[in-house]
Amino acid sequence: MSPTTINRIIYIEDDPDMIDLVSLILGRRGFTVKGANGGVKGLEMVISELPDLVLLDLMMPDLDGWDVYQQMKAHVKTRNIPVIVITAKAQAIDRVLGLRIAKVDDYICKPFSPNELIASIDRIVEKN
C-alpha cells in the first residue's frame, strides 16, 4: 500500500502509551500519526486538520468514541473521513453495532497485532 493514499492519521485515544505504540507501528510504514488525548480534543483536531483516516477508541472519560463518531458524521467537512474503531470492547454485539449499524469502516479489538492494524488500513484504501 502506498502511504500517499492515506498519510495523515489522527488517533483519538485516552491512553498515551497506546498512542505512542500505534504511532511507532504506523510511522515505520510512512504514515504521519497525531495523537489526541480524549474525545473532545480528538474531535477538535479532526475538524481543524481533516486527516485522511481516524483511529478511534470507544471508551474515553470526556467524550466517548460513539459520540465523537456521530459528531464527525454530522459535520459536513468530516463525514467522509474513514474511521477505524480500536477498542477493548470485544463483544460480538459491539462489533455488529460498529460495523453494521454505525457503519464504521473497520473495527479492531485490543490487543491487536501490528499486521492487523496495517491490514485494516489496507482494506480502507481498497474500498476508496
- DSSP string of the chain? --TTTS-EEEEEES-HHHHHHHHHHHHTTT-EEEEEESHHHHHHHHHHH--SEEEE-S--SSS-HHHHHHHHHHSTTTTTS-EEEEES---HHHHHIIIIIS--SEEEESS--HHHHHHHHHHHHHH-
pLDDT at 1: 38
pLDDT at 5: 82
**Residue ranges per domain, the chain?**
8-127
pLDDT at 119: 96
- Rounded to whole angstroms, how far apart are CA atoms 60 and 39? 7
pLDDT at 110: 85
The residues near 64 (Cβ < 8 Å, ≥ 6 apart) are: 39, 58
Tell me the mean pLDDT per 10 residues along the chain, length 128: 72 96 96 97 97 94 91 95 84 53 79 94 88
Which CATH superfamily includes the segment(s) 8-127?
Answer: Response regulator (3.40.50.2300)
